[in-house]
């Protein structure tokens, strides 16, 4: 009898859903809107209805569904309870309890960044490894820590909040979290733009990035495009980015000693050159017993969440 | 039928052994010398003989022994293989395989610092918690990371090597590991003495520590004794120590979000005042979702290893 599992990634605008085989093949993926009104009370009923409909449509019997995994933007404990998910309008929500009641199958839930790491371990950049750290370099820096094939949730769901590791003592601007000198302030897309602005302001050295800045087009992509064209100032900015992130990942390695670091998020579109800048400084700062770690780019893009959510129920 | 398990802590000079109940009561503990000659080839046979003898002496049937756990000073993988244990004269050694053959019971092995963390979680400062970080502040700084009740070994056994997190960029002296600016250089007993010497050399401020230094008695204990007597210079040194260690533990929290940090090793004899200095700076640098972590002193002392080793086989 063929078995299936569902992976659900609940975002602030859309809910992504995927139907998977236990071997990691995606049978079908689709989306529904996220209805955040009324404290997001319709979100889980909508998910349940969409899963039920898909089962009916494909004549999938309940007995063949191993379970439904769900990733949400907020800290989730091991019982599938989220304590706050601002983007969804949720306070405390028992995701597993609520969906199991409606679907009659096993439901597991996790934080979206952690779940994405699990997806990349299962079928993406970390495939074949069981000790994986995902660093998602987007507007902020998120992370997911996989130890022995399992997500590290942490005692209050704050495991993998690597964007808020303290990296720089002298920082005067505050991070979104209220602290100063968080990794996110240097290694996110916005962080790279900050580094670029500072570097451009520090001298009159020629750089194509000055034109980007005038056109209001200074971005992480612009920086790495300029690096590829050999722009000296852009290369210095990339070095600085690499030094902060490489140092942060070296510290993570002294804690969980992963086999591979997977770099994802918008910034990772810069390509392999990103791994070069980061691994150079990682090697400088890492403990010798951790230096063997690999650096890979994430490969699942926006689908990492549904892959990882499906993997949640496969154990 | 009463069940038992053995915990074995193999050190460079003595092997500590303990007979435990599954509930964490120590029935008896004893020691044998560690024979490191001939590549340490007698060590495991000696352990097997001592365990066998104890079973005979106490008329413990093999069927009632859940297993034997072993902690060794070196990186150990999940199959119970150590890759190098310099202090024991060992190269690659299959601890589990070797002892299971001789004893006919389940054997699990782990790195001694990791195993000590498990012991403190089971019956010591971290009792009742399942997400625990142990920082052992001795000659060096060791660590053990417990996630969901299990030791984080890491892909190459370097999980929990928190003494080698890079903390200070400007450090000119090298750490024993070859890097510069490792946590161990500031938060170990020797590290505190370094901080003290630097502080004393930096000014002529009066301090009882000057007398200690003249008598060649400058030590972590002397520093914290002076702190308790209100010595201003000693208090500044303690602040600096607290800042480095608090910052390091805050970074660990962003990775694994523990419920409690347990401080052990010789430095922890300073008492609760140690937790005060560390938690003050931890709170400054930690991500808000991690600030709730507790700080406790280790309570098992040199027995943490045998407790943790026994716990290894209880799962």
| pLDDT, tens only, B145-187 | 999 999 999 998 889 999 999 999 999 999 999 999 999 999 9
Percent of chain B clearing pLDDT 90 (strictly above): 93
Reply yes or no on whether the pLDDT at A216 is more than 90. Answer: yes
* Of B75, B143, B254, Cβ closest to residue A162: B254
Which residue in chain B is spatially nearest to A74 when comparing CA positions? Answer: B289
Look at residue A191 in the predicted model and tell me its pLDDT: 97
Rg of chain B over Cα atoms, rounded to whole angstroms, equals 20
Token pair, residue A314, equals: 């496969």
Query: For all residues of chain A together, what is the average pLDDT?
Result: 96
Spatial separation of the C-alpha atoms in residues A225 and A220, rounded to whole Å = 9
* Residue of A289, A290, A295 to mutate for B, most B C-beta atoms under 10 A: A289
CA gap B88, B100 in Å, rounded: 20
- Predicted confidence at residue B75, as pLDDT, reads 84
Average pLDDT over residues B217-236: 97
Q: What pLDDT score does A83 carry?
A: 83
Residues in chain B with CB shorter than 8 Å from the CB of A287 are 158, 161, 164-165, 177, 179, 182
* ipTM confidence score: 0.92
Q: What are phi and psi of B21, to 5 degrees?
A: -90, 160
**According to the model, what pLDDT value does residue B120 have?**
98
- Average pLDDT on B86-93 reads 92
Residue B264: how many other CB atoms lie within 10 Å: 30
Confidence of residue B84 (pLDDT cuts 50, 70, 90): confident
Contact B297, B262 (CB under 8 A): yes
Chain B residues at the A interface, defined by Cβ less than 8 Å, are: 75, 78, 129, 131, 143, 145, 147-148, 150, 152-162, 164-166, 177-179, 182, 247, 250-259, 285, 287-290, 292-293
Angle at B274 between CA B150 and CA A177, to 5 degrees: 70
- pLDDT greater than 90 at residue B292: no
In tens, the pLDDT along A108-128 reads: 999 999 999 999 999 999 999
At A77, the pLDDT band (50, 70, 90 cuts) reads: confident
Question: What is d(CA A231, CA A255) in angstroms, rounded to the nearest whole number?
Answer: 36
Task: Tell me what the mean pLDDT of segment A201-229 comes to.
Answer: 97
Do the bridges between strand B132-137 and strand B141-147 make them parallel or antiparallel, or are there none, so unpaired? antiparallel
Average pLDDT over residues B68-76: 93
Residue A126 sits at the vertex; the CA angle it makes with A122 and A128, to the nearest 5 degrees, is 65
How much is the pLDDT for A217?
96
Closest chain B C-alpha to A80 CA, distance in angstroms: 15
pLDDT in tens, A23-72: 999 999 999 999 999 999 999 999 999 999 999 999 999 999 999 999 99
For residues A137 and A263, give the distance between their C-alpha atoms in angstroms, rounded to a whole number.
7
Contacts of B166 in chain A (CB under 8 A): 247, 250-251, 285
Q: For position B74, what pLDDT does the model report?
A: 87
What does the alpha-carbon distance between residue B21 and residue B311 come to, in Å, rounded to a whole number?
10
Interface of A with B (CB under 8 A): 75, 78, 129, 131, 143, 145, 147-148, 150, 152-162, 164-166, 177-179, 182, 247, 250-259, 285, 287-290, 292-293
Q: What is the pLDDT of residue A50?
A: 98
pLDDT at position A130 over 90: yes
Q: Is the dihedral of CA B210, B214, B215, B216 positive or negative?
A: positive
Query: Is residue B296 pLDDT above 90, yes or no?
Result: yes
H helix or E strand, kind and range, residue B192: helix B189-202
Rounded to 5 degrees, what angle do the CA atoms B300, B305, B310 make? 105
Query: What pLDDT digit, counting tens, does each position of B266-279 carry?
Result: 999 999 999 999 99
**Residues of B in Cβ contact (< 8 Å) with A289:** 75, 156-158, 161
Name which residue leads in pLDDT, A176 or A278.
Answer: A278
Cβ neighbours around A32 below 10 Å, total: 17
The helix (run of H) or strand (run of E) holding residue A74 is none
- Residues of A whose CB is below 8 A from B289: 75, 156-158, 161
What is the percent of chain A with per-residue pLDDT over 90, rounded to a whole number?
93
pLDDT of residue A84: 85
Among the ranges given (B42-46, B73-77, B151-155), the one the predictor scored with the smallest mean pLDDT: B73-77
Dihedral sign from CA coordinates of A203, A209, A210, A213: negative
Average pLDDT over every residue of B182-196: 97
Give pLDDT, residue B65. Answer: 98
By C-alpha distance, the chain A residue nearest B157 is A257
User: What is the pLDDT at residue B77?
Assistant: 82
Q: What is the pLDDT of residue A74?
A: 87
């Amino acid at each position: 009898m063929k078995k299936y599992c569902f992976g659900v990634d609940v975002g602030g605008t859309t809910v992504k859903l995927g139907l998977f085989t236990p071997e990691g093949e995606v049978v079908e993926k689709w989306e529904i809107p996220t209805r955040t009104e009324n404290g997001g009370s319709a979100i889980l009923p909508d998910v349940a209805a969409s899963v039920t409909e898909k089962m009916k449509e494909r004549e999938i019997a309940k007995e063949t569904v191993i379970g439904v995994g769900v990733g949400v933007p907020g800290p989730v404990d091991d019982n599938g309870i989220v304590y706050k998910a601002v983007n969804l309008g949720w306070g405390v929500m028992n995701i597993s309890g609520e969906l199991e009641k409606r679907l009659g199958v096993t439901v597991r839930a996790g934080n979206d960044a952690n779940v994405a790491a699990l997806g990349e371990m299962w079928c993406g950049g970390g495939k074949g490894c069981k000790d994986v750290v995902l660093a998602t370099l987007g507007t902020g820096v998120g992370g997911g820590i996989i130890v022995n094939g399992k997500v590290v949730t942490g005692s209050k769901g704050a495991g993998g909040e690597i964007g808020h590791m303290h990296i720089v003592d002298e920082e005067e601007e505050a991070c979104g979290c209220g602290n100063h000198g968080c990794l996110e302030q240097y290694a996110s897309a916005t962080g790279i733009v900050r580094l670029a602005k500072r570097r451009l302001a520090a001298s009159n050295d020629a750089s194509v990035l000055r034109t980007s800045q005038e056109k209001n087009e200074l971005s992480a992509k612009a920086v790495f495009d300029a690096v590829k064209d050999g722009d000296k100032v852009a290369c210095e900015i990339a070095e600085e980015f690499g030094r902060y992130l490489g140092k942060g990942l070296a510290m993570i390695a002294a804690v969980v000693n992963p086999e591979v670091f997977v770099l994802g998020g918008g910034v990772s579109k810069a390509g392999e050159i990103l791994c070069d800048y980061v691994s150079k400084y990682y090697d400088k700062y890492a403990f010798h017993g951790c230096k063997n770690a690999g650096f890979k780019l994430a490969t699942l893009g926006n689908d990492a969440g549904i892959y990882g959510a499906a993997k949640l129920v496969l154990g």
